[in-house]
Chains A and B, each alone.
Chain A
Amino acid sequence: MKSSALGRTYADKECIIRQGEAGDCMYVVQMGKVEVVREEGGAEVSLAVLDEGDFFGEMALFEKEVRSATVRSLGESCVLTVDRKTLVGRVQEDPSLAFNILRTLSSRIRKLNAELVRAKGRSGT
């Protein structure tokens, strides 16, 4: 891993955020990959693998809920933290800053809808 990548370096399988913990920042992958997993009844379901440029943990910026999933490094990765204070402060002055986040959220909802339709189709409802 090049020493010049921004953010913090995480080792393989190291936890970046943990499901159920409080959080007040979002994260942007600068190098490498991370895996998003959800723990349900003792079992783990892999939700997504995120690449360079992808972000996660953005829900903490909008709601005061705990983290909804765990995110772990897949191999070595570099991840940048974006503070809620910095981002929300700028969004007040320039609401269009939230556009990129909204676009990603919107595409995630689209994917979820497709998954839901597939799941409903499988269960025959």
Chain B
Amino acid sequence: MRKPEKGPSLADSLTSLAQAKSSDLRLEDGSEIAVIGGGPAGSFFSYFVLGQAERVGLDIRVDIYEPRRFDESGPSGCNHCGGIISESLVQILAAEGINIPPSVVQRGIDSYMLHTDVGSTRIDTPLVEKRIAAVFRGAGPSGLGESSWSSFDSYLLKLAVSKGAQVLRKLVNGVEFKAGRPHLRSPDGWNKDYDLVVVATGVTSNFFQLIQSLEIGYHPPRTVKTFICEFELGREMVQAHLGTSMHVFLLDIPGLEFAAVIPKGDYATLCLLGHDIDNQMVEAFLASPEVKGCFPDPEMIPEHVCFCFPRINVQSAVQPFGDRMVLVGDCGVARLYKDGIGAAYRTSKAAAKTAVLHGIAKEDFEQHYWPACHAIAKDNRIGKFIFAFNHLFQGKRFSQRAVLRMTSWEQQKKEGPRFMSMVLWDLFTGSAAYREILWRTFHPAFWVPFAWNLVAAVFSRGGDKKIGRSL
């Protein structure tokens, strides 16, 4: 331990701490911030930066550039996503005072149906409570007329506006530094200087490539192609066949990492994530009996009314910040295959706090924003390992049987720990960090019964029957 007399004086320490903690580039009264993109990351950033500024008595202006109108149905109003708001995010937002209104929640989800090549089982929320929200990012699929439901992204954007943000319905197509300050341009000739630019453009547009050309050290995230489509089934059919469960599929289809059918109002959303999903993989998936069994008529899956192949962030960006610039949400760091909106919340809030409380120089973001991103990126490495391991199991019928046997046995128990159910629940919902999920699998109460179920599954080949198929 350091001897006090050899260390610096308290005054010296405080001075150096203050110097280390804040730069000369700071937000002041009258500072102007441009947020490019009004998806979850852009809206969360604006909401929190204005809230923090108000608390410390700072008077700033926030302009959100967002050309999309989220109240329109079809692709023009949609930010292409499964629309699951994770259990942990729903709770954290409620603690923040942000309660997702029932008009935005298409369906509250209280359970998961796990479908494998050898059967299905149901996993209930630990408290048998609807703590997962299924939402539409826009106003709904193509062709949807009047609807009483609202879009999630529109709700978040309105929250940011309620804090004082201005929305400019413009696409930004140029950004450069002029005399050290960022300068934005849009195709209609509009241009403006700002004190801070926050890039929240996601990975669907190519805007982040423009940022790379600014040579601030930013390198975009790696992305892969995914697939989403919507089936119009009608409210009664959705309730009868999918209920309030999200249907997750662990099928032996090469390249497929995760597949889910999510019930929403009159529709069911299908989401396929994996290594560059293509039409062939979509067809193979839809042809499998486990998938057909989820639809009202297994012999005829209806035509989808809307579909897209959006990209997803699978490897974090490098250095998503510079002087007077920070990248939040998907164009920076996201969680692997899960809870992208939760990651947008975490990164945006960390960036907002940094800007108000510490400063807007590269060093400020490096010291106070990057740790939040780095924690997600580090956890994703464990996530990759878990998905690789999961692949091994997904490809073998006996291991699928073992997972299913153990889960069904746990779900039938009145009380006691449910290790396999909790591991699967957290893996599918994104409620816990991958690190936590991995730790849980090291517990003897997980692997002893699992080893037993593996042995039992090897000797029960004839037992490929559906287990616990009720909703």
- A82 contacts partner chain B, Cβ-Cβ < 8 Å: yes
Known: A2-B102, A87-B91. A7 touches B97 (CB 8 A): no
A8 and B94 contacting across the interface, CB-CB below 8 Å: no
User: In the bound complex, what is the Cα–Cα distance between A20 and B471 (angstroms)?
Assistant: 36
- B107 contacts partner chain A, Cβ-Cβ < 8 Å: yes
B97 and A30 contacting across the interface, CB-CB below 8 Å: no
A-B contact count (CB 8 A): 85
User: In the bound complex, what is the Cα–Cα distance between A81 and B259 (angstroms)?
Assistant: 28
Across the interface, B349 reaches (CB within 8 A) one of A53, A78, A83, A94, namely: A94
Across the interface, A96 reaches (CB within 8 A) one of B97, B108, B353, namely: B353
Chain B's nearest CB lies how many Å from the CB of A47? Answer: 21
User: Hey, which chain A residues are within 8 Å of B431, CB to CB?
Assistant: 86
Known: A8-B130, A81-B131. A3 touches B91 (CB 8 A): no
- B88 contacts partner chain A, Cβ-Cβ < 8 Å: yes
A6 and B108 contacting across the interface, CB-CB below 8 Å: yes
- A123 contacts partner chain B, Cβ-Cβ < 8 Å: no
User: In the bound complex, what is the Cα–Cα distance between A101 and B108 (angstroms)?
Assistant: 25
- B59 contacts partner chain A, Cβ-Cβ < 8 Å: no
User: In the bound complex, what is the Cα–Cα distance between A52 and B99 (angstroms)?
Assistant: 9
Within 8 A of A (CB), among B43-59: 52, 55
User: Hey, which chain A residues are within 8 Å of B90, CB to CB?
Assistant: 6, 80
User: In the bound complex, what is the Cα–Cα distance between A99 and B244 (angstroms)?
Assistant: 33
Across the interface, A80 reaches (CB within 8 A) one of B55, B88, B131, namely: B131
Within 8 A of B (CB), among A1-19: 2-8
Within 8 A of A (CB), among B61-101: 88, 90-92, 94-97, 99-100
User: Hey, which chain B residues are within 8 Å of A87, CB to CB?
Assistant: 91-92, 95
- B406 contacts partner chain A, Cβ-Cβ < 8 Å: no
Which of A2, A3, A90 neighbours the largest number of chain B CB atoms within 10 Å of its CB? A3
A3 and B107 contacting across the interface, CB-CB below 8 Å: yes
- A28 contacts partner chain B, Cβ-Cβ < 8 Å: yes
The 8 A CB mask of A29-50 against B (1 = contact, 0 = none) is 0110000000000000000000
User: In the bound complex, what is the Cα–Cα distance between A81 and B95 (angstroms)?
Assistant: 10
B239 closest partner in A (C-beta): A3
The 8 A CB mask of A67-85 against B (1 = contact, 0 = none) is 0000000000010111100
User: Hey, which chain A residues are within 8 Å of B130, CB to CB?
Assistant: 5-8
User: Hey, which chain A residues are within 8 Å of B102, CB to CB?
Assistant: 2, 4-6, 30-31, 78
User: Hey, which chain B residues are within 8 Å of A52, CB to CB?
Assistant: 99
User: Hey, which chain B residues are within 8 Å of A28, CB to CB?
Assistant: 94-95, 99
A81 and B129 contacting across the interface, CB-CB below 8 Å: yes
User: Hey, which chain A residues are within 8 Å of B91, CB to CB?
Assistant: 80-83, 86-87
A87 closest partner in B (C-beta): B95
User: Hey, which chain A residues are within 8 Å of B128, CB to CB?
Assistant: 8
User: Hey, which chain A residues are within 8 Å of B52, CB to CB?
Assistant: 96
User: Hey, which chain B residues are within 8 Å of A97, CB to CB?
Assistant: 92, 95-96
Chain A's nearest CB lies how many Å from the CB of B373? Answer: 12
The 8 A CB mask of B172-200 against A (1 = contact, 0 = none) is 00000000000000000000000000000
- B250 contacts partner chain A, Cβ-Cβ < 8 Å: no
B97 and A8 contacting across the interface, CB-CB below 8 Å: no
What are 19 A-B pairs with beta-carbon distances under 8 A? A3-B107, A4-B106, A4-B265, A6-B90, A6-B99, A6-B102, A8-B129, A28-B94, A80-B94, A80-B131, A81-B91, A81-B127, A82-B95, A86-B92, A90-B88, A93-B372, A96-B52, A96-B353, A97-B95
15 more A-B contacts (CB under 8 A) besides A7-B131, A87-B95? A3-B244, A4-B106, A5-B102, A6-B105, A6-B133, A8-B130, A28-B94, A30-B99, A53-B99, A55-B95, A80-B94, A86-B88, A86-B431, A93-B375, A94-B353
Smallest CB-CB A-B distances: 8 pairs: A4-B105, A28-B94, A5-B102, A8-B129, A100-B97, A82-B91, A2-B102, A4-B102
